[in-house]
Structure 1
Amino acid sequence: MDSEELRETLQDAGLSPYQSRAYVAILELGTASARELTAASDVPDPRIYDVVRDLEDRGYVETYEQDRLRVRAHDPTEVLADLESRADRLSSAAAEIEERWEQPELDAHAASIVQRFETVVDRARLFIEDAENQIQLSASPEQFAELEDALAAAVDRGVYVQLSLYTEDDDRTPLPASDVLASTCTEARHRPIPSPFVALVDRQKACFAPHEAARNEYGVLVDDRTHEYVFHWYYVGCLWEICEEIYSARNDDPPIEYVDVREFIRDVEPLVEADAVVSVHVEGNAVSGGEARAVEGVVSDVYYEGDESGDARTTGLVELAGRASFTVATDEGSFTVGGEGAMLEDLEATRITVTAVD
């Protein structure tokens, strides 16, 4: 640290510009008369005695009489203790600010607009760290790297992670290696087009920010099922369904997991139509009361709005955006099962596992 930086730091610690100049000068001189200190520090002559007196009161210097008034630096023990105490308080204040920023959650049924893109990524990390069932993420490789640890922890907890990685048209940035994808997501796709940052968590929370090259920098934070549902369909239609698959941990044979009832219907309808016996385990929530519920049984019927003469296997998920459900015959009776936002069925499924196909 040079003398100028030291003076600026001392001013941050509470010294005036004249006091910091005089103190740094006396440290370099060792001892000096008032006139010599004035010349070395560029403190105006009429001010030097007041400056020295203030420094002495604060324990930075001491004065003594010889042939004239002289000044020398005081034992720095107290000065160092004061500076270290200030540093500790500043460090504590920084930690407290970070904690208080992270603690408040969005109000229930709230949507907030923020100005900084970094805020959106930071909030997404917090949402991902609390995820229990499902994450849908659209990010660049650099943004993915910032969230990699949080995603890996989520996968370890059994969270189903869909990752859509986007790159520029001429971007040569390498995509993550397969072992990295295996530890951080359940499925991954690639979109070679500049895209917004989107993070959707547990059908409740959403973080959105336009592509970094957008003219206006802003972000949207959502903690509300209805708003999140809108972002969900944007994700499915624009950032997932049309993209190339680059990784999948899903099995080709049972057990096969689904978090999207429409994707399940698209794969299972042809089997049901062919009189196959499709056994499933469904986890979700009762539509009427909201309590967690799980059922096991056989798929007895599949329903979706649209052209009934079509083949669900060739139908895009967006085309199944209307009411879509299936019926499970269990030992307790039959249950109708819908997907995200279900209102007319018995259950809103969060996880569907095909356990057997006979």
Structure 2
Amino acid sequence: MPSTIKETIQEILEDIVAFRRELHEYPELSGEEYETSKRIQRKLDQYHIPYETGFAGTGVLGIIKGGKPGGTVALRADIDALPIMEKTNLEFTSKHSGKMHACGHDVHTAMLLGAGAVLNHRKEDLEGTILLVFQPAEENAPTGGAKQMMEDGVFHKYKPDAILAQHVWPDLPVGQFGVMPGPMMGNSDRFKIVVKGASGHASMPHQTVDAVVVANQVISALQTIVSRNVDPMDSAVLTIGRIEGGYRYNVVADEVTLEGTVRTFRDDTKEIVKERLHTIVKGVVDGMGADAEIQYYNGYPATVNTPEWADLVKATAQRLYGESSVPHLRPSMGGEDFARFLQKYPGAYYWLGTSIGEGQKPLHDPYFIVNEDAIPLGIELMAQTATEGLKQIQKRAEVSEAWLNV
């Protein structure tokens, strides 16, 4: 029988990699992860890990009760894919046309199962309970699956003292990890602006209100929000990602739709950008004789790590892989549904280096590839951090009890 975590990982690694590839071949979009959920349940059965279902439709909760009393640490992986046509030509490329695990959720799910198998193998030594949270619909912003899982009672029976999650990160080489206290990922909001003018013949623009021209002015004016309303020492991004309007070359458009996103770290900065967006759009369209409808969608909140748990992830990684394994990094403006778990419970979200080197494509790219050499590292760091986390919780409880008895 394997006696160390590393040895246990080597025993199951081939199976975990094969399972990751199976998930990659059969991706399912947010809210449609029915077969993915069944596959996860079969693997939990294989590893003799009890579980519960019925959270956010397809979510699964694995439960590992340790042999000793103690706290509870939850480990989370997202399970959904993206509506992207894969172009990698891997042996295990997606068999579902127009769907792809282009954000590494297949890897997250496989590594969480691996960590669960490792921890279950050593459960008699665990000082508390480990929860394996398989979350659907992470990509379905701004709704997501985290909030629904909690509303469906995923933590009603076992309330976590802390929750941890990892995400593949193509900007880091295998063997390096990204973690920091405080904001790790940003608020990720969406907006839709429909500029409404008056149509007519292109040769007689004086009889029209050109929605294309008005939309152009709106776009230019919105770019002043970050440069002139946000503190230069703070961070914000406002991007228009989609424009649609017009009928044909010789018709003045009476309607143009703009869709975009706002990214911030601080909630007060978010409110400044949101307020200025509404004010500027109204001012521009009023001044040009047009009208506008604005829909602003509050998306995922910022992913803010609890310092205690971010420090534990960092210390564990450095102990396992050396001081240089956790370089100094800046947070990302990307959005993450895990933030909603962190609003309710202490914990940390961290990045796992998965770069293939030259030719690496970014997340959400149809050519995105994960370096599978990172999988055993992800399993080990998650399992070791969970184990150390339970010890930390137990030690804190013992100190508190000692103070009460003084």
Interval containing the TM-score (normalised by the shorter chain) = under 0.3
Point out the structure with max Rg over C-alpha: 1
Higher RCO (C-alpha 8 Å, min separation 6): 2
The answer to which structure has the higher strand fraction is 1
TM-score of the aligned structures, taking structure 2 as reference length: 0.20
